[in-house]
Structure formats: structure tokens, C-alpha cells
Amino acid sequence: MASFATIRVKEVSAARISGANIHNERQYNELDFDTPDNIDSSQSDMNINLVFKDGEESDFSYKEAIYYCIEKAQAPIRKNSVMGLEYVVSASSDFLEAYTPEKYFASCVKFLEKKHGKENIIAVAEHYDELKPHAHIIVVPIIRKEIHWKCRKGDGFSEGTKEENRLCARDFTGNRMLLSRMQDDFYAHNLQAADECGVDITRGTPSEEQQTLYVDNTSHDVGLLNQAFEELAKKAQRCNLEYERGQKNIAEYKKALKEAHEKQLELEAIREKEEREFKLFKEKKAIQEERDKQFDRVRKEKEQEKERESKRLEKEAKEKEKEQETKRQGREAKEKAQKKERGRGMGGGMGM
């Protein structure tokens, strides 16, 4: 079985901060919520929960730690800002046992410190009360960016650039290429640890390659819509440039932008459908593989039972043959004794 190290990431909006805090720190009982079925509460005492302020442990809640980090960086918050990124890291059982979960999770934190900066990591939650040990690492996606600004005042116009801190999750998770590069970097980061403990880890097949194989056998709609979306997006970009130069009217720009948006929504809907079907496909495949394994087990058990029965019959046949030989030898001995006795009787009669 292949050995591996896994990392997943999801965006945390302002509305999801409390939910992440409740789950990661197992606050269900305190808030009179039902504990999810996949959590073994008897093992929850083994979990480790840490919240950080300026890289040091604190008693902050997730919300307090996130807003403190943003306020200290003086990063503006917009209505649709992504407030945090939640990374979930784990590995195959043999890798975790060989390297130990504690060392592995510490190594994962170091990986994310290099990616985001230690000051932007606000929480680490190690969970040992679910099916497989894993850790949730919460970071605030703050980066230093160069901003281009423009200013019109009366008949005058000025522009320039400045640097400032920004909340910018899309610079880390904005497209498949960024996510694929993150997987490559994470795989490379864990190679040395795997070598140290004698485990050969593999880089998983990128999801886009898996989905390409599936989509090629089902539907080409995604590819066609993706091409149409890219063309319309380019058209919208051209319209935007021409509009800024006063060479295109606003109505055509809005129309192209609307068409691009509609195509994007259509593409996302079909992509979600394809992902659901692909997930169902993988689940069915897993069920079939499990059935095949069960069939092999039953077949092997029957073969073993047949072999045991054959050996039993062979043993009984040998015992029976041995018994018959013993009886035959007994009969022969008896016959010899009888002949000898008769010989003696005859000899005695002649003497008389």
C-alpha cells in the first residue's frame, strides 16, 4: 500500500470562524450541541489545542486571534474578505507510526510558517479522537502587496504605487495551479522526514488529471464551457481596457462581463455536477474493490477448507488401510497358530 502525506485547505469567512473554533476545540458539550458521530469523546483528552498571539501561546479565541493579527498588520477588511485559511494535514498510518504524529505535525507547522510567516499562524489543533490522527492549522492570509493608486482632483490627475498589507487568500488558493504547487511543495518538504524513517512516500495524482480521465469518458461540456469562458473573460478584459481609454461604451462592457459571469456560473454548476459524479464513481469503485476482496477471502477460505477435508480423508484412508493390514496380519498369525496346533494333534495321534 502506498505511503503518503496529505494537506487540504479551505477558506474561513467571518461567519465560519466560530464554527471552526467549536469543532477544533471540541466545545460541543459546553454549548449543548450534539457531538458528531465520527468523534470518539473518550479519546478527546488526547487532543492538543493551541491558540497564538504574535507567535506565542495565548488564551485568545480564534476570532480574537484573527482580528488581533489583522489589526496589527493594519490590513483593511472588506465585506467579502476571507479571514483565514484552515489547513488540514495528515499522512498514511505507516508514515505517522514511523515518524510519530507529534514530529509530523510540528514539521507541517514549520512548512506553513515558511509559506505564511510565523506571526500569521493563529491556531493548531491536533486531533486523536477521530479515525486517523490529523491536525487543523489556522492562518491569516496577510501578504505585503504593491498597490497602484490613482487620484483625480479637479482637472488634475495623479497616480503612483505604495506597499501595504492585504488580506489576500486568492494569492494562495485562487486557482488550481496554486493548489497543485502547494501539493508539490508539501510533498518535497516531507521527503527528508520520510527518508529518515525509511518510508517511501508518493505524490498523489493531481485531481485535475483524475477528473480529466473521468470527464473524457463522460462529457466534453466542461472543456467546451471552459474554453468559452476563457474567451469571454479575455473579451471582458479587452473591453475593460478600451473602456478606460474611452474607446468603448459602458453598455458593451457590462454585457460582455455579464455573459462571462453567466458562463462562469454555468461552468461552476457543471463542474460541481461532474465532481459529484466523480465522487460517486470513486465510491462505487471502492465498494466493488471491497466486494472483490471479500470474494477472494471467501474463495481462499473454501480452498483451505477443501484442502483440510482432503487431508482428513487421506488420513482416514491411511488409518483404515493400516487397520485392515493389522487385521490381515492377525488373521495370518491366527491361521499359522491353528495350522501349528493341528500339526501337533496329528503328531500325537500317530505316536499312539
Domain borders along the chain are 1-203, 205-337
Determine contact, residues 291/270, Cβ cutoff 8 Å: no
Determine contact, residues 5/186, Cβ cutoff 8 Å: yes
Sequence-distant contacts of 14-18: CB under 8 A, at least 24 apart: 14/81, 14/83, 17/62, 17/63, 17/66, 17/83, 17/84, 18/62, 18/63
Q: Is beta strand 156-167 parallel, antiparallel or unpaired with respect to 56-58?
A: unpaired
Assess whether pLDDT exceeds 80 at residue 211: no
Out of 88-97, 142-151, 176-185, 277-286, which region has the weakest mean confidence (pLDDT)? 142-151
Which grid coordinates belong to 287?
465498494
Mean pLDDT, range 321-339, rounded to an integer:
87
SS3 track for 52-107: EECCEEECCCHHHHHHHHHHHHCCCCCCCCCCEEEEEEEECHHHHHHHCHHHHHHH
Residue type, 299: R
DSSP characters over 1-65 = --B-EEEEEEEE-GGGHHHHHHHHTT-TTTTTPPPPTT--GGGGGG-EEEEEETTEEE---HHHH
Q: Which of 21-25, 77-81, 205-209 has the highest mean pLDDT?
A: 21-25
Assess whether pLDDT exceeds 90 at residue 10: yes
pTM: 0.57
Assess whether pLDDT exceeds 90 at residue 179: yes
Higher pLDDT, 220 or 108: 108
Residue 86's nearest CA partner among 29, 39, 124, 44 is: 124
Which grid coordinates belong to 138?
489556522
In CATH, 1-203 is 3.30.930.30: yes
Cα separation, 197 vs 98, whole angstroms: 6
Instruction: Name the pLDDT band for 47 (thresholds 50, 70, 90).
Output: very high
Report in angstroms the alpha-carbon separations of 54 from 60, 82, 109, 238.
11, 20, 15, 44
Q: Return the percentage of the chain with pLDDT > 70, whole number.
A: 84
Determine contact, residues 243/253, Cβ cutoff 8 Å: yes
Determine contact, residues 38/131, Cβ cutoff 8 Å: yes
What pLDDT is attached to residue 207?
Answer: 53
Mean pLDDT, range 2-28, rounded to an integer:
93
Residue type, 11: E
Cα separation, 152 vs 174, whole angstroms: 32
Mean pLDDT (the chain) is 85
Please work out, in degrees rounded to the nearest 5, the angle formed at the alpha carbon of residue 224 by the alpha carbons of 219 and 227: 145
Out of 6-20, 109-123, 177-191, 251-265, which region has the weakest mean confidence (pLDDT)? 251-265
CA 259 to chain centre: 36
Q: Return the percentage of the chain with pLDDT > 90, whole number.
A: 48
Q: Which of 48-62, 193-207, 225-239 has the highest mean pLDDT?
A: 48-62
Residue appearing with cell numbers 479575455? 234
Which grid coordinates belong to 115?
509559506
Sign for the pseudo-dihedral over CA of 109, 113, 116, 117: positive
Burial class (CB in 10 A: 0-12, 13-18, 19+), 70: buried
